[in-house]
Amino acid sequence: MIKSLKIKILAGFMLLSTLLVVAGTVSVIEFLKLSRSVNALIEDNYKTIEATKTMLEALERNDSGILMYLLGEKEEGRKIIRSSEVDFARALKTAKNNITETNEKEHVDEIENRYNLLQSKLLLTLNEQHNIKAINWYHDEVYQSFIAVKHSINDLMGLNQNSMYNEATILKDKSHRAIMPGIVAIVGSLIFSMILSFFISKYYILPLSSLSDAIRTFHPHEKQLRSNLKSEDEIKKIENEVNNLITRLVKLQEPKN
């Protein structure tokens, strides 16, 4: 049994500190896991989604360049087409280097194959000398390939968007797990503080109050304080020392033979 009042109080605060440290450590670990998951989400899905957006924009500019070429603005049309091809190739390379989802490689390969087919048809369009024939070729062949590439890009984007949504749901659960240790620590600390307050009152405040009342109501004819402390700590030692003092004072007042 712990007899020292100092050790009793220190033990209580040490237990409270341990509870807070453990809860804080668990929270930090969970938040680190959450941070890594967020970084993975950005690396795995967001980069590919941004790449698909770039591909769609480049594809639209490519189509605009073809139309400008067919309308007679050949130099400007070729310039737009070349620029869009560079941007599309860069975005496609990003998507190819960031394969993270099931069946994602098949989607990327499909985009590449359909885009290569579109480029081969585009080359025939640009080499066609008869304008009316080129426009018909564009309408019957090039535009259909353009739509096919666009569908493939949208499929790749949808795959990564769905994966991001699912991962975001998992991250939401992880954030709840990261918060829970903090909530448990707060609730536990409040409960433990009330328990600690109870024991401080029982082993410190009440004994001191009892000792104070005994000293205040002490009668000179009595030989001991009437506090009746049950503990064996420092307050009990004070009671014993006061009783010893009373005993010595009584002896000093006794008449000498």
Q: 212: number of CA atoms within 13 Å, CB side?
A: 6
Alpha-carbon distance of 177 to 152, in angstroms, equals 38
Query: How high is the mean pLDDT of the chain?
Result: 78
Sign of CA dihedral 33, 38, 43, 48: positive
Mean pLDDT over 48-61 rounds to 92
How much of the chain exceeds pLDDT 90, in percent?
19
Q: Please give the average per-residue pLDDT across 133-148, as a whole number.
A: 79
Look at residue 10 in the predicted model and tell me its pLDDT: 72
Residue 114 pLDDT > 80: yes
Which pLDDT tens digit goes with each residue over 10-50?
776 777 777 777 777 777 776 767 666 666 656 667 888 89
Q: Which residue has the tokens 């024939």?
A: 133
pLDDT in tens, 223-235: 777 777 777 677 7
Average the pLDDT over 45-65 and give the result: 90
Mean pLDDT, residues 175-180: 69
Q: Which of 87, 90, 78 is nearest to 58 (CA)?
A: 87
One-character DSSP codes across 189-213: HHHHHHHHHHHHIIIIIHHHHHHHH
The full set of domains in the chain, from first to last, is 5-190 (1.20.120)
1 pLDDT band, cuts 50/70/90, is very low
